[in-house]
A and B are shown apart, each in its own frame.
Chain A
Amino acid sequence: QKEVEQDPGPLSVPEGAIVSLNCTYSNSAFQYFMWYRQYSRKGPELLMYTYSSGNKEDGRFTAQVDKSSKYISLFIRDSQPSDSATYLCAMKQSLNTGFQKLVFGTGTRLLVSP
């Protein structure tokens, strides 16, 4: 079983739609969860950072973490063509020096059409 699983897509939606992106994971030691956006030929750009279970909202973006189900989600409201990119989930175990590495999903490619 892969440590982090993410549907590669592509996910195609019309402008204005609500987008739901998801990841599942197998390692129950993961405590910190991130969503990054990656445009073509660019590095991952941090969107959301959450700790443990619960919801976090930032503008049009909402991140949800359900540790009991080992499932995380990113919702994008009122999607725009400029949101078209690959969305990467990433997670790590701890703040301790030896456990800082991020484990990434494969990324979901999102296409928002005007």
Chain B
Amino acid sequence: EPEVTQTPSHQVTQMGQEVILRCVPISNHLYFYWYRQILGQKVEFLVSFYNNEISEKSEIFDDQFSVERPDGSNFTLKIRSTKLEDSAMYFCASGNSNQPQHFGDGTRLSIL
């Protein structure tokens, strides 16, 4: 069964550094998403991406965050200048408008 894959599984970064999280969505999906889950808290929506542009974003997704689909297969989340409170699990998901979203296993981001 096709699946969403995310790399790396764990990323450790110094505060203030830039980080890029990578995702390969399911190949025939047109909608792409990033969510995050701070330890012990609920999964929270960050951003959705469709037709090469952001279609929806949350208040968490401020100017420090950006997303890109640099080629036909990858979908990336960049955090420009990381803060301690960015430490969380980041999940990529993909789907189509009439189908549920399928999630990857996440990248655990640790900011030191």
Question: Which residues of A come within 8 Å of B, CB atoms?
Answer: 32, 34, 36, 41-46, 49, 88, 90, 95-107
Q: Which residue of A lies closest to B4 (CB)?
A: A43
Chain B stretch 64-112: residues in CB contact (< 8 A) with chain A: 91, 95, 97-106, 108
Interface string of B38-72 (1 = CB under 8 A from A): 00011111001011000110100000000000000
Given the contacts A44-B103, A49-B100, A98 and B56 also touching, CB distance less than 8 Å: yes
**Residue in B33, B44, B58, B103 whose CB lies within 8 Å of A100:** B33
> Taking each of B4, B99, B103, which has the highest tally of chain A beta carbons within 10 Å of its own beta carbon?
B103
Count of interface residues, chain B, beta-carbon cutoff 8 Å: 29
Q: Which residue of B lies closest to A33 (CB)?
A: B100
Cα of A90 to Cα of B45 in the assembled complex, Å: 11
Provide the residues of chain A in CB contact with B31, threshold 8 Å: 97, 100
Given the contacts A43-B91, A44-B43, A97 and B50 also touching, CB distance less than 8 Å: yes
Cα of A103 to Cα of B35 in the assembled complex, Å: 10
